[in-house]
Amino acid sequence: MNDDKKVEELIGAEGKSNNYNNYKRQEGQNNKWKEQDKKRQEAYKKIDDMSFKIVKDGNVFAEYLKVLSNFEKYSVANCMLILEKAPNATQIKAKKDWSDKGYEVTEGAEPIVILEPNKTKYKTYYNPIEEYDISQTNAPTSSKKRYTEKEILQALFTICKAEKEVVDILPNGNKGVEYIESENKLYMCRGLKTQDLLKATIQEIVKMKMEDREQTEMNAFQSYCVSYMLCRKYGIDVTSFNFSELPKEITNNDKSWDIRKILENIQNDYKTVNDEMTEYFVEKKNEKENKKQESR
């Protein structure tokens, strides 16, 4: 074999090898994209299904609000995916994130698939990612900070911009808590059980925060939902809340997107009040730490 043929054979072989490797690489990328797209479409289907399931069953709706209060920074759609797969989840992370913290995911644990937004210049894409709840790992269950009833009431007083007045009987003749908009005053009765006082105060303050809205059944329901979520978050008894009858505006809605918009409104209202509560507790914590530093 002359040198020209040898060169041609060698270069030809290399070219064939590279073409084959490029093909396999491209094939692998296509398969990965197809798998991702399959998971994405499955997630979209679950979100649509859960949108209708939530508003057709009051118990499921209450479970959804529980998930939303646990995962306040997650989107409405992702909270639906968490509810569908793991309604009792409290803290979820990717397997690598758990591993980076020194914990391992339990063998055989099924992931919770949520959608992670990926924004480009022209469009936002949603990539399916797998996460696991803390209960699916060997990490110790983290206990949330619990505030005393007195601390919660002090926080509520701070975020309430109305004048407060303690009375024996409310202006309407009942016992409880009542906000009078025309007076910008919050009336609170003496002798109430502390849990009842906290729950009623939360409900009235939530109404106060939304007093500029039209008095509709839907707006009243949104306030009720926010009150329920705040009570759950701060360990206040929620057994008296009843979601057996949901507003027709959502139960009769045949568009999952519209249902999610209503749920987003509830989430945003919750964040408005909860962020103020959180800010108060952060300030108090910083004050305590500063005092400790000064006393050293």
- In this structure, are 203 and 291 located in the same domain? yes
Domain boundary among 136, 160, 189: 136
- Quote the CA–CA distance of 171 and 181 in Å, as a whole number: 12
- Quote the CA–CA distance of 154 and 198 in Å, as a whole number: 10
- In this structure, are 276 and 214 located in the same domain? yes
Query: Would residue 260 count as lying in a domain?
Result: yes
- In this structure, are 125 and 159 located in the same domain? no
Cα 192 to its chain centre, rounded Å, is: 32
- In this structure, are 42 and 153 located in the same domain? no
In a 3-state reduction of DSSP, which class is residue 256?
Answer: helix
CA distances from 195 to 36, 148, 154, 261, 280 (A): 48, 11, 14, 32, 20
In a 3-state reduction of DSSP, which class is residue 116?
Answer: strand
Decide if 193 contacts 237 (C-beta within 8 A).
no
- In this structure, are 120 and 35 located in the same domain? yes
Query: Would residue 215 count as lying in a domain?
Result: yes
Query: What pLDDT is attached to residue 180?
Result: 92
φ, ψ of residue 253 in degrees (nearest 5): -75, 130
Domain boundary among 85, 101, 136: 136
- In this structure, are 209 and 254 located in the same domain? yes
Query: Would residue 246 count as lying in a domain?
Result: yes
- Quote the CA–CA distance of 161 and 152 in Å, as a whole number: 16
- Quote the CA–CA distance of 277 and 154 in Å, as a whole number: 10
Query: Would residue 144 count as lying in a domain?
Result: no
Domain boundary among 109, 136, 163: 136
Query: What pLDDT is attached to residue 10?
Result: 46
Decide if 186 contacts 165 (C-beta within 8 A).
yes
- In this structure, are 156 and 283 located in the same domain? yes
Largest CA distance in the chain: 111
Nearest to 46 by CA among 74, 86, 73: 86
List the beta strands (DSSP E) in 63-140.
92-93, 112-119, 124-133
Query: What pLDDT is attached to residue 292?
Result: 77
Query: Would residue 165 count as lying in a domain?
Result: yes
Nearest to 161 by CA among 199, 211, 195, 198: 211
Decide if 222 contacts 266 (C-beta within 8 A).
yes
Query: Would residue 98 count as lying in a domain?
Result: yes
Q: What's the half-sphere exposure (Cβ side, CA atoms, 13 Å) at 261?
A: 7
Query: What pLDDT is attached to residue 23?
Result: 47
- In this structure, are 181 and 123 located in the same domain? no
Query: What pLDDT is attached to residue 288?
Result: 85
Range of the domain at 278: 149-295
Query: Would residue 143 count as lying in a domain?
Result: no
Query: Would residue 141 count as lying in a domain?
Result: no
- In this structure, are 159 and 275 located in the same domain? yes
Query: pLDDT tens per residue, the chain (296 residues)?
Result: 565 554 455 455 555 555 555 544 555 566 677 888 899 999 999 999 999 999 999 999 999 999 999 998 999 999 999 999 999 999 999 999 999 999 999 999 999 999 998 888 788 888 999 999 999 999 998 767 789 999 999 999 999 989 999 999 999 899 999 999 899 999 999 999 999 999 999 999 999 988 878 778 888 999 999 999 999 999 999 999 999 999 999 999 999 999 999 999 999 999 999 999 999 999 999 988 888 777 76
- In this structure, are 238 and 160 located in the same domain? yes
Number of domains within the chain: 2
- In this structure, are 115 and 238 located in the same domain? no
**Total residue length of the chain:** 296
For 52, the token pair is 């209708």
- In this structure, are 180 and 286 located in the same domain? yes
Radius of gyration of the chain (CA): 27
